[in-house]
Amino acid sequence: MDIGSTTQNTGLNSQHTAGSNQGATAISSDFETFIKMLTVQMENQDPLNPVDGSDFAVQLATFSNVEQQVLTNNLLTSLSEQIGAQSVSQLSGWVGMEARAQMPVEFSGAPVTLSLQPDQAADTAELVVKNKYGTEVARQSVTLQSGEFDWAGVDDQGNPLPYGTYEISVESFTADELTATQPVEVHAIIVEARNDYGAPALLMSSGQTVSASQILGLSDPSL
């Protein structure tokens, strides 16, 4: 009977148990099982060929290492949850603010406010709209001046585009040659700060969820 292998597998199973309390309980139960199995092994060993004492020491050390690893993982999980909760609490002050971020546009029929940054050294610039499949569905000329732009969500013929997700960028041209492509910045109200799988995230009024690091600017929409 390979006690070291058995106890190691048991300890690894405990590692996947949810919650530090459950993990500690599983470890305690596993240790009792380990001692019983070790006792049975000693009682039933061949008296003419007894197990060397060093083997028992190795098995005990193996179990101890697995036990320590499980406890460490539980501690790290707990710390991660606490840090995530603190970050969400800090970001809650952003709720209700208008944010700018480079993200896809969720079009639902209403005009969407964008921030454009064409290449100032270019001759012309165009707003390029692609659907979620990467297919270009609209293109229009825009000024070279950086600033806000209200995108109406229409195709080249002025027909409304279907509701959905679009990737929008600005292409800058010099002598009819493409010199730069810059993603637009989308304006939206932050409606919720939450914890997504241990990481703080912000839900926008347009439906997107972004991380705090993606936010490029904040402003008070009432001003």
Burial grade of 59 (CB within 10 A; 0-12, 13-18, 19 or more): buried
Which of the residue ranges 47-51, 107-111, 154-158 would you say has the lowest mean pLDDT? 47-51
pLDDT band at residue 213 using 50, 70 and 90 as cut-offs: confident
The pair of three-digit structure tokens given for residue 168, joined into one six-digit string: 């929008």
Fold of 100-186: Immunoglobulin-like (2.60.40)
What pLDDT score was predicted for residue 48?
A: 65
Q: What is the pTM of this model?
A: 0.57
> How would you write 58-80 as a 3-class SS string?
HHHHHHHHHHHHHHHHHHHHHHH
Which of the residue ranges 38-42, 88-92, 118-122, 140-144 would you say has the lowest mean pLDDT? 38-42
pLDDT digits (tens, 9 = 90+) for 124-175: 999 999 999 999 999 999 999 999 999 999 999 999 999 999 999 999 999 9
Contact 58, 2 (CB under 8 A): no
What pLDDT score was predicted for residue 22?
A: 53
Query: Hunting for tokens 């060993």 — which residue is that?
Result: 45
Residue 88 sits at the vertex; the CA angle it makes with 195 and 91, to the nearest 5 degrees, is 130
Which of the residue ranges 77-81, 182-186, 217-221 would you say has the lowest mean pLDDT? 77-81
The pair of three-digit structure tokens given for residue 6, joined into one six-digit string: 């058995």
Q: Between 11 and 148, name the one with better pLDDT.
A: 148
The answer on pLDDT for 98 being more than 70 is: yes
User: For the chain, which residues make up each domain, given as ranges?
Assistant: 3-91, 94-98+189-219, 100-186
CA pair distance 199, 174, nearest whole angstrom:
42
Which residues, listed in sequence order, are joined to residue 202 by a DSSP beta bridge?
Answer: 193, 210
CA pair distance 58, 67, nearest whole angstrom:
14
Which residues, listed in sequence order, are joined to residue 147 by a DSSP beta bridge?
Answer: 116
SS3 198: coil
Please give the average per-residue pLDDT across 72-89, as a whole number.
54
For the chain, where are the E strands, in sequence order? 98-101, 105-107, 112-116, 124-131, 136-142, 147-151, 164-174, 177-183, 185-196, 199-204, 209-211, 215-219
pLDDT band at residue 40 using 50, 70 and 90 as cut-offs: confident
